Amino acid sequence: MGQFGQVVWRGFPCALTIGSLICLVIVGLGCTRAHKAENLYFLRFIQALDEVNNTTGLNDFYSIGLWSYCTGNITDNGTYKTTYCSKPRGGFWFDPIDTWGLNGTNTNDFLPGKLKKSLNMYRNVSLWMAIIYLIAVIATVLEIMTGLMAVGGNRLVSCFAWLLAGVSLLFTTAMSITSTTIFATLAATVKTVLKPHGITGHMGRHIYAATWLAVVLSFLASALWLLDYCCCSRRRTTPRPIAADHQQSYGYSSVPLNGVTAPRHTPYPPAMVFASPPNLQGSYQHPMHQTPTHSTPEDACEPYRHG
């Protein structure tokens, strides 16, 4: 895989992780400002207690977020108009007794034991839900930074990106499961025990879509980082050094033979070089495939030779 292919391949999990981070930020922004409370809420209480509405001045709805709540009135055309949002704080939980001003009233008539049990569970889990959310955001940010560093093709950095993706996926999933379970239980309880008093509750669709979309994107990013680490690590771009014994497998010593030298260290056996043997005194070299003639002493008689 070339350099451009590595950038494109590792760009996919980085883009998925950025999308997951955006979804987590959307979840955290719910009910922090008036214009962010229209659709971003975990749970919304509608209407007020009829028995104390005229004396306490309760609003028409109360929207609950991760860090705060918002309240307002419903207009004649059915629009939810937010008029107040509480200050965001860690470990927030919506206390209807304090918010609705029921401290001096007989709360047992308005908050049955089943609802109190659900509220206590919500209060105990709210702090841990906020901590899990922060860990998920931090792990996601670190995953993005590590993923950008892994674009160059470093396999060790890809391993760290996958580990951070696993941490992000774990805590994002835990936060989504916790929030969905807690507020679904609370909404079902409110509908059961407070409906006779004119109070209903329903869960927000947009914020749960954002939190579960963050889980899906985080899962896909984690799977791609794992695939990248196991199967698509950077291949060697420089030739592997040849072992010494392999270099000598076709090596031939260069021995000068009548001015001809055999090649050294060729990737294939060199061509055979034929050279004449050194001249010996009193000898005669004959061409190949010819019958040699024998020499005679100088004092021997030769035909057609005259003194």
25 vs 133: CA distance, rounded Å: 10
End-to-end CA distance of the chain: 90
Report pLDDT for 59: 83
Enumerate residues 6+ apart whose C-beta is below 8 A from 16. 217, 218, 220, 221, 224
Report pLDDT for 237: 43
Quick one: fold of 3-101+111-230? Butyryl-CoA Dehydrogenase, subunit A; domain 3 (1.20.140)
Report pLDDT for 149: 82
Count the Cβ atoms, other than its own, within 10 Å of residue 152: 13
From 92, 89, 5, 100, select the one nearest 48 (Cα to Cα).
100
Report pLDDT for 267: 53
Report pLDDT for 236: 44
90 vs 97: CA distance, rounded Å: 20
Report pLDDT for 252: 46
Report pLDDT for 266: 54
pLDDT one digit per residue (tens) for the chain, 307 residues: 566 666 667 788 889 999 999 999 999 998 888 776 678 899 998 875 545 455 556 788 899 999 999 998 888 787 888 888 999 988 899 988 788 776 655 555 556 677 888 888 999 999 999 999 999 999 999 999 888 887 766 677 778 888 999 999 999 999 999 999 999 999 888 888 877 777 888 899 999 999 999 999 999 999 888 887 777 554 444 445 555 554 454 454 444 555 555 555 555 555 555 555 555 555 445 555 455 555 554 444 444 444 4
CB 40 within 8 A of CB 207: yes
Domain ranges of the chain: 3-101+111-230
